[in-house]
Amino acid sequence: MTTPLNTERISKLRKRLNHRRARYVWVQNILFKMKSFDQLFVMIVAMLIGVFAGVISAGFRTLIDFFRHSMWGEGALIHVAMAAPLYLKIGIPAFGGALVAWAVKRFAPEAKGHGVPEVMNAVATQNGFIRMRVVLIKAFASAMSIASGASVGREGPIVQIGSAFGSSVGQLFQVSVRRMKTFIGCGAAAGIAATFNAPIAGAIFASEVILGDFSAAAIGPIIIASVFGTVVSRGLYGDFPAFVPPTYTLHSPVEIIFYIVLGIVTGVVAWLFVRSLYKTEDVFDTWKAPVAIKGLLGGALLGGVAVYLPQILGVGYETMESVLSGNLGLWIAAGLVLAKIFATSLSMGFGASGGVFAPSLFIGSMLGGALGTIIHGMFPEITASSGAYALVGMAAMVAATTHAPVTAVLIIFEMTTEYTVILPLMISSIIAMVISSRLLKGSNIYTLKLQRRGIDIYGGKDINILDQINVKSLKKKIIDTIPESLTLQELLEKMSVSSALNFYVKDKESQLSGIITHSAMRRYLNHHEAVPEDATVMDMMNRKFEVITDQTPIHEVLRKMIEMDLEALPVVDENQMLQGEVERTSIVHQYQEQLIHAESAKAMANSMKFIHKQYHEKSEVLPGFLLARINVPSTFVNQSLLSLNVRQSFGVDILLIRRTVGDAEVDIIPDANEKLRLSDQLLVFGEQVSVESLCDSH
């Protein structure tokens, strides 16, 4: 029975809640009114995102320090790790690995790993939508990973956290996709700027890596956010460079040759780092064990290595300071190159959460320091100290792994305030990027992760939607073909009454031997008398032509059409026998339908919350029609959409398939040959009776 005291308390709580709700609505109404002043609205939101990123960066550092002091004790990680007993050196990384792997898998799988690829994917294919829960899970998981000793950096988490906040602001005010992406760039820029005290590099990183957009409309708000993130960071920590390198001078123009050598070596080592990173992830992914066990054993192995080389634990700023000052020996620096590659690959493999930017700086500094020690020892009079090579190696490694040389040069310049090293920075960074790009076939440490999931980050959503279309569905049967013996006069008469785009020539074995296009014959169309009577199609046909098969990706079909200036291409089988043709207009029409389908399905999917795996969610979108997100029925598993024939059998349409790929959720446009999996969720639409019948069939 409720007492009067409890009733009064409940009444007061309700009043407080109503007051808070009223204030929230009031603020929201003001901001929505400001939205009509487009530029003012964007600038104010960019400022807010910058301030938030600066505050969260400071909070993130505090959280790392809290966890580290709780587990290791007071002092720098490398020093306390050296003094710690053996059971703590192995036990703390093992505990942190198990806890982080479990928490990420349980609450937000996209918080695993670098963070930057997930943001790039959201920009390119998800219209900028990022879940807000990523902020909390990423902050906890990354802080625990770094504090317990995982060999990762803090810039990736800050980028993902800031970007998630920017996306959430965009979702709150229902901005356009373009504005949403700009707000994500603001969060990323402010996070990098606040973390490294580098406002210019933060803005360039967001534009060069995250958005790939240097337009005035995008770069303006990004700069504002970067500035405010830096202001907050400097207000809390002061305006100090991250590193204080020794004074540098270029002793001789000949020394540039040595920096070219450093760039080449760095490009090769960057390739080794990236390949090692993803090879290790593959090993852990194929190991069928609970994620907590993977984290436990992976962390223990990391701790075992740290018994001998404690410098690999955490971010490693203290060790980088040592090599920049020339206080690290040749063999230790060289050994730490390989040890850090192994430690970072291991950390990412067993499920740690953190960035790869700082490990790239660490590996580059050790490599540059080791190579610089050798070069300076051989040519002391014309070369700088090893610290200068370590500094250049940092920029070169970042450029080689991220393929963002402008960001690499600027961030080292801002982190050190050392301008005199700019020439070697530029030449080494560009050469290292070219070498690694060649070895990695155009991919970098971020995009390779997405390409392994089948996501083309450069093509973005357009390419991914295009590749949902297949040649077989667009293939048009060719009614008329022509023999090689046909005269040009006869061909011209045939062309005058035909609507065909191309004429395909067959030889005596009925194989495709050539193509004649309208453009090739256009000059003769009005001059029949100029065509020699004995001329045949063999005299005019193009013997060097492109063909496609049923398996050729549609984006490749379009590329061939554009290069050859053709409106249609022939489809052949493995024996070069003509099977049909695909026209450019049919590709465009199908693409438009798929794009509309994808956009509408995505909008509807995002309007419905994530549901628990045991439930369905239904919403009436039209009178008598329901939109529902359901778990795949057991009878659908391993069946293709073509064989299920859901529309005929159940009276519903499948608009979207949500699937777990690795550690991320991806949305797949339904394809007739797509086989459903047990963990899939389906977005279906149909009459109320049909949808409810399908839901009840589970």
State the CATH number of the domain containing residue 684. 3.30.70.1450
| Predicted pLDDT of residue 367 | 94
Q: What is the mean pLDDT of residues 314-333?
A: 87
Q: Is 481 exposed, middle or buried (0-12, 13-18, 19+ CB in 10 A)?
A: middle
CATH number of the domain that 114 lies in? 1.10.3080.10
**Residue 245, domain member (yes or no):** no
Whether 278 and 229 map to the same domain: the answer is no
Q: Report how far Cα 44 is from the mean position of its chain's Cα atoms.
A: 27
Q: Is 462 exposed, middle or buried (0-12, 13-18, 19+ CB in 10 A)?
A: middle
| Separation in Å, CA 270 to CA 157, 352, 402, 444, 656 | 21, 21, 10, 10, 39
**Residue 596, domain member (yes or no):** no
Q: Is the pLDDT of residue 557 over 50?
A: yes
| Predicted pLDDT of residue 259 | 92
- The enclosing H or E element of 580 equals strand 578-583
- For the stretch 417-464, pLDDT in tens is 777 778 888 999 999 999 998 898 877 888 887 777 666 665 544 555
DSSP label of 382: T
Contact 343, 145 (CB under 8 A): no
Whether 90 and 69 map to the same domain: the answer is yes
**What interhelical angle do 255-286 and 422-439 show, nearest 10?**
40
CATH number of the domain that 560 lies in? 3.10.580.10
Whether 177 and 312 map to the same domain: the answer is no
**Residue 159, domain member (yes or no):** yes
3-state secondary structure of 625: strand
Q: Is the pLDDT of residue 115 over 70?
A: yes
| Predicted pLDDT of residue 7 | 62
**Residue 306, domain member (yes or no):** yes
| Separation in Å, CA 569 to CA 365, 451, 467, 572 | 52, 28, 17, 10
With cut-offs at 50, 70 and 90, classify the pLDDT of residue 227.
very high
Residue bearing the bigger pLDDT, 108 or 22: 108
Residue bearing the bigger pLDDT, 74 or 336: 336
Three-state SS annotation for 502-562: EEEEECCCCCEEEEEEHHHHHHHCCCHHHCCCCCEHHHHCECCCCCECCCCCHHHHHHHHH
| Predicted pLDDT of residue 484 | 77
With cut-offs at 50, 70 and 90, classify the pLDDT of residue 396.
very high
Whether 500 and 511 map to the same domain: the answer is yes
Residue type, 294: K
| Predicted pLDDT of residue 434 | 92
**Residue 600, domain member (yes or no):** no
Q: Is the pLDDT of residue 313 over 80?
A: yes
| Predicted pLDDT of residue 371 | 94
- The enclosing H or E element of 690 equals helix 688-696
**What interhelical angle do 405-416 and 177-196 show, nearest 10?**
40
Whether 656 and 561 map to the same domain: the answer is no
304: Cβ–Cβ under 8 A, 6 or more apart, which residues?
Answer: 90
Q: Is the pLDDT of residue 506 over 60?
A: yes
Cα–Cα distance, 386 to 150 (Å, whole number): 28
Domain ends where: 401, 429, 459? 459
Residue that is written with structure tokens 């879940």 in the block: 131
Residue type, 676: L
- Sheet hosting strand 652-661, strand order edge to edge: 617-622, 625-631, 681-687, 652-661, 664-668
- For the stretch 174-209, pLDDT in tens is 777 778 888 888 998 998 888 888 888 888 888 878
3-state secondary structure of 264: helix
Percent with pLDDT over 70 in the chain: 81
Whether 490 and 621 map to the same domain: the answer is no
- For the stretch 528-539, pLDDT in tens is 555 666 777 777
| Predicted pLDDT of residue 678 | 81
**Total residue length of the chain:** 698
Whether 383 and 532 map to the same domain: the answer is no
Cα–Cα distance, 415 to 418 (Å, whole number): 8
Whether 56 and 134 map to the same domain: the answer is yes
Output 605-613 pairs: Cβ under 8 A, ≥24 positions apart: 605/629, 605/655, 605/656, 605/658, 605/667, 605/683, 606/129, 608/683, 611/681
Q: Pick the closest to residue 373 from 329, 337, 336 (CA basis).
A: 329
| Separation in Å, CA 15 to CA 18, 19, 28 | 5, 6, 20
Q: Is the pLDDT of residue 509 over 70?
A: yes
| Predicted pLDDT of residue 476 | 80
Range of the domain at 684: 608-696
Cα–Cα distance, 121 to 165 (Å, whole number): 16
DSSP label of 249: -
The span from the first CA to the last CA of the chain, in angstroms, equals: 42
Pairing mode, strands 617-622 and 625-631: antiparallel
DSSP label of 145: H
Percent with pLDDT over 90 in the chain: 14
Weakest mean pLDDT among 145-149, 507-511, 536-540, 615-619 = 615-619
Q: Pick the closest to residue 113 from 583, 367, 452 (CA basis).
A: 452
The structural domain count of the chain equals 5
Domain ends where: 190, 209, 237? 237
3-state secondary structure of 64: helix
Pairing mode, strands 681-687 and 625-631: antiparallel
Q: What sign has the CA pseudo-torsion 45, 50, 53, 58?
A: negative
Domain ends where: 437, 459, 481? 459
Residue type, 266: T
- For the stretch 325-382, pLDDT in tens is 888 888 999 999 999 999 999 988 888 888 888 899 999 999 999 999 999 889 888 8
**Residue 591, domain member (yes or no):** no
State phi, psi for 494 to the nearest 5 degrees: -65, -40
- The angle subtended at Cα 160 by Cα 42 and Cα 45, nearest 5°, is 15
DSSP label of 417: -
Q: How much is the mean pLDDT over the chain?
A: 79
| Predicted pLDDT of residue 341 | 93
Q: Is the pLDDT of residue 663 over 90?
A: no
| Separation in Å, CA 267 to CA 37, 222, 358 | 47, 30, 17
Q: Pick the closest to residue 149 from 88, 194, 196, 61 (CA basis).
A: 88
**Residue 54, domain member (yes or no):** yes
With cut-offs at 50, 70 and 90, classify the pLDDT of residue 268.
very high
Residue type, 217: A
Q: What is the mean pLDDT of residues 24-31?
A: 57
Contact 156, 114 (CB under 8 A): yes
Residue that is written with structure tokens 């920590």 in the block: 237
Contact 541, 516 (CB under 8 A): yes
- For the stretch 591-622, pLDDT in tens is 666 665 555 555 555 544 444 444 456 666 55
3-state secondary structure of 147: helix
3-state secondary structure of 499: coil
Two tokens, residue 680: 């899939």
**Residue 246, domain member (yes or no):** no
Whether 63 and 142 map to the same domain: the answer is yes
State phi, psi for 296 to the nearest 5 degrees: -65, -50
Question: pTM for the whole thing?
Answer: 0.68
Whether 358 and 289 map to the same domain: the answer is yes
Residue type, 106: R
Q: Is the pLDDT of residue 21 over 60?
A: no
Whether 487 and 450 map to the same domain: the answer is no
Whether 321 and 421 map to the same domain: the answer is yes
Cα–Cα distance, 33 to 679 (Å, whole number): 43
